[in-house]
Amino acid sequence: MKDVRYYTTKPLSGGVTFKCIFCEHNVTTHDFDSLRGNRRTQAASVMNQHARESHFSQMRTSVSMKSGSRGAL
């Protein structure tokens, strides 16, 4: 299985910016608390969750609505 990232990264003064590949949503490592773990890991998790909830859930809904409109079970 191949790992897929749904974000790009860009160095930022003292951190990294993570940007969604589907939209303009972004976070930086500065947005997270190092007491909760690695900031890059937290940012990557948030970006993957964003992609799942904002982009992939819409695709599944769209596909099921299209199937339903054709009378498929």
**Does a structural domain hold residue 34?**
yes
**Does a structural domain hold residue 68?**
no
Find how far residue 31's CA is from the centre of its chain: 15
Q: Mean pLDDT over residues 32-59, rounded? A: 92
Whether 30 has a pLDDT exceeding 90, the answer reads yes
**Does a structural domain hold residue 71?**
no
The total number of structural domains that make up the chain: 1
**Does a structural domain hold residue 25?**
yes
Q: Mean pLDDT over residues 20-40, rounded? A: 97
pLDDT, greater one: 68 or 36: 36
The confidence score (pLDDT) of residue 19 equals 98
Instruction: Domain of residue 12: give its range.
Output: 7-62
The confidence score (pLDDT) of residue 57 equals 77
Find how far residue 33's CA is from the centre of its chain: 19
**Does a structural domain hold residue 19?**
yes
b (16+ CB within 10 A) / e for 20-56: beeeebbbbbeebeeeeeebeebbbebbbebbeeeee
**Does a structural domain hold residue 36?**
yes
